[in-house]
Amino acid sequence: MTTPFTVYTSPSAFPNPQRLRLFQYEKGIQAHINEVIYDMAPGGDQRKWPHLKMNPWGETPTMQLADGSYMSESVAIAMYLDNLLEGRKLFGESPKEQGLISMWDSRIWVQILYRITTLFHVSHQGLGPKIELTNNPQWGEHCRKEALSHASLVNQHLSDGREWLIGGAEPTFADITLCTSIAFSKFGPVQTPLDERFEHLHYFWQRWQQRPSFKLAYADGAGLAELAHLIK
């Protein structure tokens, strides 16, 4: 069977591609997608000209559509596939659900995930000398504090007993962004494990680990010892 979409992507330790990967398993559309996994570090495949021709931003994930055109940005790709393909709508059914999911997703992406990835990039040389150009540990510490203070607000929001950010029985795309933020908060040089700091983020992280989508999406272990049992 030919798959209509090719996604140029990363190992699961990289949080933005991982948002898309967890989305595809949660929605059950993995049969439509052919993944090409890059050597991001130290290889830097995403910064070489064949990839830059597809996405001048030099980032993953980048998706090729059946008509040969390209789309990038995790949210844009996931939203497109959510609207196009059968299955549960992870960006919401009603206008209110869609608004709330977008609200939580923006908060978590801007104030937690982007902060943590910036901490990673400016505090270390994690992607290697071909790519990491800026070293600014003080900025990294500022980002760590911001991520923690916003994670505290999310923890408070989850303290009313709800399982997922907008309530309901199943996770939405905003929950996916939060899940990948927690995973990356534990990664290598970041070492700010949000689930160890915040009780309700701990239960949220445990809840995700029970889901078949999580087990498939993190099947390479994401470089985390606690997920090594998922490696086949």
> Footprint of ligand GSH on this chain (CB under 6 A)?
10, 14-17, 40, 46-47, 58-61, 73-74, 127, 131
| For ligand GSH, the closer CB: 52 or 212 | 52
**CB of residue 117 to ligand GSH, shortest distance in Å:** 6
- Residue 70 to residue 63: CA distance in whole angstroms: 6
Q: Least CB distance from residue 192 to ligand GSH, whole Å?
A: 16
| Helix (H) and strand (E) counts in the chain | 10, 4
202 neighbors 17 (Cβ within 8 angstroms) = no
Residue 119 Cβ vs ligand GSH, minimum distance, rounded to whole Å: 13
Closer residue to ligand GSH, CB minimum distance, 29 or 79: 79
Question: What does the DSSP 8-state code read for residue 103?
Answer: H
Smaller CB distance to ligand GSH: residue 47 or 157? 47
| DSSP single-letter state for residue 121 | H
For the bound state, the minimum distance from the C-beta of residue 142 to ligand GSH, rounded and expressed in Å, comes to: 19
Q: CB nearer to ligand GSH: give 48 or 96.
A: 48
Task: Tell me the closest approach of the beta carbon of residue 163 to ligand GSH, in angstroms.
Answer: 25
Alpha carbon distance 22, 12 (integer Å): 9
Q: Which is nearer to ligand GSH, 33 or 127 (CB)?
A: 127
Give the C-alpha separation, 151 to 138, whole Å: 20
Query: What tokens were used for 232?
Result: 């086949």
Q: What is the nearest approach in angstroms of ligand GSH to the Cβ of residue 140?
A: 16
Beta bridge mates, 34: 6
Identity of residue 165: L
Q: Which is nearer to ligand GSH, 28 or 58 (CB)?
A: 58
Which residue in 43, 41, 49, 22 sits closest to 175, CA to CA?
A: 22
Please report where in the chains the tokens 């003080």 appear, as a residue: 138
Closest CA to 9 of 32, 40, 43, 44: 40
